[in-house]
Structure 1
Amino acid sequence: MEIINNEKNLQFEYHHNDEVARLEYRFYKDNIAMMHTVVPESMKGQGVASALAEQAFAFAKEKKKKVMVYCPFVSKYVKKHPELREQINREYHPNL
């Protein structure tokens, strides 16, 4: 699954059959804030959202940025992948 970082629109994208799944992010202070994940119905249940989150965390790690989580899906993803907790900005998310 090829995930694209659309840096112009600040979102990770997966394109399939003229549809786009996306995970939107923003830069805030010295962090990356993961804002919102959208996956079209036709792509649900195929691991697309997880692939977007995985790429977003890899990008944050590469850039040496802590992550702020505003997206409910990303919050659930972190809980399923405790190894990512070291990347979370604890000031904003003490319970993740």
Structure 2
Amino acid sequence: MQPFTEKALQVIQNVPAGKVMTYGQVARCAGSPRGARQIARLLHSMSEKHGLPWHRIVNSQGKLVLADEEARHLQRTLLEQEGVEINRSGLIDLEMYRHNPDDSMV
């Protein structure tokens, strides 16, 4: 496994319940500031195998953007169960719910 992938998995696994991170934020923490799309692919291919809290990763505006309606509904449900408020447009207040890991966690 590549170092970026290992680091990204660690970052994602450390997002606590009730918080979210953006794809780009995870990529930056894992050492590739322009790797947001890589994070999306990693989540798609490795979430189940590694038990990742995939539902806690959102786009840079705090929006739920999964193309599949069922998956998007599941993401919304899981986040709401953790106490994350999502408005009618599918937006999360990143000021309130963004997880900002300190250097010791990542």
Higher relative contact order (CA 8 A, sep 6+): 2
Query: Above 0.5 in TM-score?
Result: no
- The structure whose residues are more often helix, as a share, is 2
Identify the TM-score tier after normalising by the shorter chain. 0.3 to 0.5
- The structure whose residues are more often strand, as a share, is 1
